Homo-oligomer: A and B are copies of this chain.
Amino acid sequence: METIDLELIRIFVKVIQQGSFSKASIILGIPKSTVSKSVTKLEETLGTKLLLRTTRSQSLTSSGRLFYETCLEPIQVLEDAQRSMTGQDSIVSGNIKITAPEDIGYQIVSPIVGELTQKYPELTFEMHFTNSIVDLIADGFDLAVRIGPLRESNLKARKIGNLDMSLVAADSYLKKHPPILKPKDLENHDVLMLPPVSSKNYWSLVKGKTQVKVPVKTRLVSNQITSLLYSAAAGGGITLAPAFLCRNLLEEKGLIRVLPEWKIKGIPISLVSPIATSSSARLKIVSDALFDTISSRLN
């Protein structure tokens, strides 16, 4: 069996992480011609195309994705091993690519990362905030904050907890509409929701042992929770949002909690990574920081 120069694998991994041959060449400190030839040679040796590349973009083949998934972690471990031998283990360095939902990103991830940049001067960050779900593998991400139930995958997940949810509406709105004293009163109100919206939407409210499922009338849909909150603040209706998000808006925007004594099932929030966080020192630091801060702010 022909053995593969492991150096080729490292270059391949870096190309995926950086998302381009050129960037990988800069990070590795070698000319891009070498990167190009290395990937080609790796493909030849493996006998499989790994990367479909037009001059302008590239995407992993299914084999390439599989290969990347299995090689990413060992490569990182080896690089870390090198660092710790050369006495650089005390200095946490490297780059971390993070993705998160927008609101979580702005309000939680950004401040944490801000602190980390001060604490670890050798650490650099790339953040990508979007409410659509990015492909951690294909886009070379190290870490993602995900809300909602996790789909099955071979990514390593670490559940942080459940986000407490609150029902809120503007003071002005509530004055103009019938009072809401029990869940059933919600039925005839205007509701602002995140997608997906089906023909019949329900909210399940719980108080003690009693659980009530109320059909609600969707008046406005947005993919941004923050935008829903602003619409609600303008009197657009009632919306459901993570408690931590609406808390500061409650006072300053004249929002009021509706049925505060009723609870709504929280949304799971998790950290997801292509590799085990324990296998990379710098990943562990960021992961732990996010975990600790988020779990202290779930409600």
Contacts and interface: CB of A to CB of B under 8 A. Distances in A.
A69 to B, nearest CB: 9
B85 A81 contact: no
In the complex this chain forms, how many copies of it are found? 2
A73 to B, nearest CB: 7
A86 B28 contact: no
Interface string A1-36: 101111101100000000000000000110000000
A47 B7 contact: no
Contacts of A28: 3
A9 B77 CA distance: 12
Contacts of A79: 3
A234 to B, nearest CB: 53
Interface string A50-86: 0000000000000100110011011101111111111
B81 A1 contact: no
A62 to B, nearest CB: 12
Contacts of A85: 46-48, 63, 66-67
A73 B67 contact: no
A78 B71 contact: yes
Interface in A231-274: none
A88 interface: yes
Nearest to A83: B1
A74 B10 CA distance: 12
A75 B84 CA distance: 17
A29 B93 CA distance: 36
Interface of A: 1, 3-7, 9-10, 28-29, 46-48, 63, 66-67, 70-71, 73-75, 77-86, 88, 93
6 contacts: A1-B93, A46-B86, A47-B85, A63-B85, A70-B77, A74-B78
